[in-house]
Amino acid sequence: MDKPPLPQMLQGSKVIVTAGGTVERLDPVRYITNDSSGKMGFAIAKAAKQMGADVRIIAGNTSAAPPEGIAVERVGSAQDMYEAVMRHWEDCSMLVMAAAVADYRPKEEAPSKLKKQGDTLQLELVKTVDILESLGQRKTKQFLIGFAAETEQLDRYAREKLERKNCDLLVANDVTVAGAGFGTDTNAVHIYDRNGLVEQLPVMSKYEVAYRLLTAAAVRMDRA
Ligand code: CTP
Ligand code: CA
């Protein structure tokens, strides 16, 4: 049986959701990425659409399939993801940064395959653009949702990130908790706003987390 439709709390909103891990190339056949499956971002995109939003997904490397009926733009590096988000930034009402963006990339991307040489190899890495922080500094009407996957001091790091990146909501999860790590269909998150902890959700499906998160966002957008 079909589930009843979700309340149309995001009717008229343009929502961008980033998902998956970025890919930072070393040469044409090698790269640095991470374990992000894209499932959390995809669940948010699906829930946002079902709540009436006009949704666009900007996805890096993912192992999960994106939800049907939603525009998906594929990107590689953090820089590519930044540029893709920027192209839709002006008329966007909400940006959800669920992607696992690499913090560093190889300083040089070799145009041809690197050859094996000595017994050791030093790779020089340089910082990538922080997409969320950069957009947090220039937001006007956009509602910003950030993520933080932590292994310790969840509350402290979550609050710090929310402030530093000028987010409206921040979703933090402790990846050491069973059912809350990368690649699972479930998550257990803490949601923060500027005033502190808003909700502490037990393990539930990523789709349910998405719905609870977007409801918290929609209520706050209405107040703004
Ligand atoms: N993020 C981003 N651009 C980056 C790094 C992170 O937009 N270059 C976003 C992520 O998509 C996430 C939020 O910032 O929504 C927090 O990411 P996280 O990796 O937890 O925070 P960092 O600031 O990178 O700090 P650290 O990895 O040291 O914990
Ligand atoms: Ca990081």
> CA–CA separation, 196 vs 175, rounded Å?
20
pLDDT for 176: 87
Tokens of 164: 């530093």
Task: Output the CA 66–ligand 2 centroid distance in Å.
Answer: 23
pLDDT for 180: 84
pLDDT for 1: 56
Q: How confident is the model at residue 224 (pLDDT cuts 50, 70, 90)?
A: low
> pLDDT tens for residues 146-199?
999 999 999 999 999 999 999 999 999 988 888 887 789 999 999 999 999 999
Helices 39-50 and 206-223 pack at an angle, to 10 degrees, of: 50
pLDDT for 182: 79
pLDDT for 179: 86
Tokens of 41: 């971002």
Residues with Cβ within 6 A of ligand 1? 78, 97, 99, 101, 103, 128, 130-132, 146-149, 161
> pLDDT tens for residues 93-108?
999 999 999 999 999 9
> CA–CA separation, 18 vs 98, rounded Å?
5
pLDDT for 6: 84
Q: How confident is the model at residue 5 (pLDDT cuts 50, 70, 90)?
A: confident
Task: Output the CA 177–ligand 2 centroid distance in Å.
Answer: 19
> CA–CA separation, 145 vs 38, rounded Å?
16
> CA–CA separation, 4 vs 99, rounded Å?
29
Beta-strand runs (E) in 3-99 = 14-19, 24-27, 30-32, 54-59, 71-74, 94-97
Give the residue ranges of the annotated binding site for CTP: 103, 113, 147, 161, 165
pLDDT of 109 > 80? The answer is yes
pLDDT of 222 > 80? The answer is no
- For this structure, is 34 an active site residue? yes
Helix boundaries (H) for the chain: 39-50, 78-89, 131-137, 154-164, 206-223
Probe residue for ligand 1, chosen from 33, 130, 139 as the CB with the greatest number of ligand atoms within 8 Å? 130
Place of tokens 């009926």: 69
- Atom number in ligand 1 closest to CA 99: 11
Q: Which residues contact 138 (CB under 8 A, 6 or more apart)?
A: none
The Cβ of residue 67 has, within 10 Å, a number of other Cβ atoms equal to 19
Q: How confident is the model at residue 2 (pLDDT cuts 50, 70, 90)?
A: low
Mean pLDDT of the region 4-18? 92
> pLDDT tens for residues 35-94?
999 999 999 999 999 999 999 999 999 999 999 999 999 999 999 999 999 999 999 999
Place of tokens 């502490």: 200
Handedness of CA 169, 6, 205, 98 (dihedral sign): negative
> CA–CA separation, 95 vs 211, rounded Å?
15
Tokens of 108: 């040089």
